[in-house]
């Protein structure tokens, strides 16, 4: 009876700590007691000899306390990383003395349902796993699913779905040669020459002195030469006049209403396990926006972002490396909310006066093309067509080729309408600087 009480007490303590018995525990306890009981009743020594070791082994395994349930913990990693970066994740496991082994599975973003299983002995404390972030976006980074087993696997805890860790992988930046932007007077300093005179470094003209000019602007060499010609060295002072340096604005308009690939059969379905289709229209648009922003911010321009589907996610123009970081984070937020709006929204107050507007869209509907042509009435607008080409018809329907031809014709008509309304249409972000050099005032 004392052994039975030890067995019941140990099982109750383990149950309160989060452990549960397995079939091996049931077979060991019931089978051992049953064989001993039957052997005593039937006077069968062989049954007793088989049942006693089985019962003793079960009680001995339960005599070692298992303590609390071991919970794997992941060492902190950066909250935001670059696409293509890698790191080594360190998972710490604090198992009690009664734990015989711990099994840890690490599903990753590229393999969300299954992952490599690490089988650790109960005395192990850490496990290391290599992690690489190949695709940009935000989502589940690591999730240590785990299962722990006591002595002889009589008690187990789990399987337990681990705590998810989320991370933001910033869109990659491809070096682009930025082109000139038309300046506008919006700040004290900038990277572009203005038509008006002011403080700057580029010479505009040398002219006679006027009331109100600063004395430090007098060009004494020109003044002396002019005076030598007239016979009075200081009769006509001359001053150097510079072009004022001002800010130029670039506004990137992201079309997050649709995310499509070249395969028409995939347009009505969502890609499993990812927020953005690799190589799709939205992926192309986000990569182009990040590269354009990096190029123009590097030369001192102001860059902003507008989401056609969600105006609240827009980012006002700013300068510097901090603006680039904010813009890349905002691009991830826009992609996370993609496809949830029915029509584009572009408010006039979102675009600063005199700014250059770059539309990044596949132009699959007339409303988006209308928004671009409306903005072209007051701004220089460049459209970057992100629709993957050539489109591939759906082979599972007899109307697949007809649908492809209709979509291609409508898309061509929208591009023609954009050009007719003064919108330059290009297919790659590398062509944007060439357009700006051609239309620079």
Question: Which tokens is 366 given?
Answer: 């007339």
> Which is more confidently placed, 262 or 212?
262
Structure confidence at residue 194 (pLDDT): 43
395 burial (CB, 10 Å; 0-12 / 13-18 / 19+) is exposed
Q: Which two tokens stand for residue 245?
A: 């340096």
- pLDDT, mean over the chain: 77
Model pLDDT for residues 9-27, shown as the tens digit of each residue: 544 544 444 677 777 777 7
Q: What is the pLDDT of residue 296?
A: 86
Q: What is the CATH number of domain 249-439?
A: 3.40.50
Tens of pLDDT along 404-428?
899 999 999 999 999 999 899 998 8
pLDDT at 117 over 50: yes
- Verify cis geometry, omega within 30 degrees of 0, for the bond prior to 390: yes
10 Å Cβ neighbour count for 187?
Answer: 12
pLDDT for the residue numbered 188 = 39
Ordered by start, the domain boundaries in the chain are: 2-63, 73-170, 204-245, 249-439
**pLDDT at site 430:** 86
Tokens of 74: 């992941």
H or E segment at 389? none
Q: What is the pLDDT of residue 119?
A: 77
Q: What is the pLDDT of residues 65-116, one digit of tens each?
A: 776 777 788 888 888 888 778 788 788 887 777 777 787 777 665 554 456 7
Cα–Cα distance for residue pair 280/351, rounded to 1 Å: 27
Closest to 341 (Cα-Cα) out of 384, 310, 386 = 310
Q: Which residues of 106-144 are buried (b: 16+ CB within 10 A; e: fewer)?
A: bbbbeeeeebeebebebeeeebebebebebbbbbebbbb
Residue 17 pLDDT: 47
Which fold is adopted by the domain 73-170? Immunoglobulin-like (2.60.40)
Q: H-helix or E-strand containing 16?
A: helix 2-16
Per residue in 23-76, pLDDT (tens digit) is: 777 777 777 777 777 777 887 877 777 777 777 777 776 777 776 777 788 888
């Amino acid at each position: 009876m004392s052994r039975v009480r030890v067995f019941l007490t140990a099982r109750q303590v383990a149950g309160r700590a989060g452990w549960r018995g397995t079939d091996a525990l049931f077979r060991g306890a019931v089978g051992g007691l049953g064989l001993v009981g039957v052997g005593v009743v039937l006077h069968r020594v062989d049954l007793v000899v088989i049942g006693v070791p089985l019962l003793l082994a079960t009680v001995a395994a339960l005599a070692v306390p298992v303590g609390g349930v071991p919970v794997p913990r992941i060492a902190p990693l950066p909250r935001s990383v670059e696409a293509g970066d890698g790191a080594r994740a360190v998972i710490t496991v604090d198992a009690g003395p009664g734990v015989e082994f711990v099994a840890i599975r690490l599903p990753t973003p590229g393999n969300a349902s299954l992952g490599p299983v690490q089988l650790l002995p109960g005395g192990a404390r850490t496990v290391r796993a290599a992690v690489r972030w190949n695709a940009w976006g935000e989502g589940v980074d690591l999730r240590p699913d785990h299962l722990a087993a006591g002595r002889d696997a009589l008690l187990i805890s789990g399987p337990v779905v681990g705590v998810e860790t989320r991370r933001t992988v910033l869109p990659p930046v491809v070096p682009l040669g930025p082109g000139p932007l038309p300046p506008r007077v919006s700040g004290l300093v900038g990277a572009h020459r203005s038509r008006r005179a002011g403080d700057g470094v580029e010479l505009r003209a040398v002219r006679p002195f006027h009331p109100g000019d600063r004395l430090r602007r007098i060009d004494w060499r020109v003044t002396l030469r002019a005076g030598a010609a007239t016979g009075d060295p200081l009769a006509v002072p001359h001053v150097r006049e510079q072009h004022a340096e001002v800010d130029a604005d670039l506004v990137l308009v992201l079309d997050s209403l649709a995310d499509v690939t070249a395969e028409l059969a995939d347009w009505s379905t969502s890609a499993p396990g990812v927020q953005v289709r690799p190589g799709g229209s939205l992926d192309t648009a986000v990569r182009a926006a990040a590269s354009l922003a990096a190029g123009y911010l590097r030369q001192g321009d102001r860059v902003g972002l507008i989401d056609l589907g969600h105006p609240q996610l827009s980012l006002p123009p700013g300068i510097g490396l901090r603006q680039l970081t904010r813009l890349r984070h905002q691009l991830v937020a826009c992609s996370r909310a993609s496809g949830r709006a029915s029509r584009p929204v572009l408010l006039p107050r979102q675009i600063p006066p005199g700014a250059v507007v770059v539309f990044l869209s596949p132009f699959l509907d007339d409303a988006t093309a209308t928004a671009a042509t409306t903005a072209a009435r007051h701004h220089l607008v460049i459209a970057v067509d992100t629709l993957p080409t050539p489109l591939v018809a759906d082979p599972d329907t007899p109307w697949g080729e007809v649908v492809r031809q209709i979509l291609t014709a409508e898309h061509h008509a929208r591009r023609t309408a954009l050009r007719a309304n003064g919108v330059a249409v290009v297919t790659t972000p590398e062509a944007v600087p060439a357009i700006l050099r051609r239309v620079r005032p």
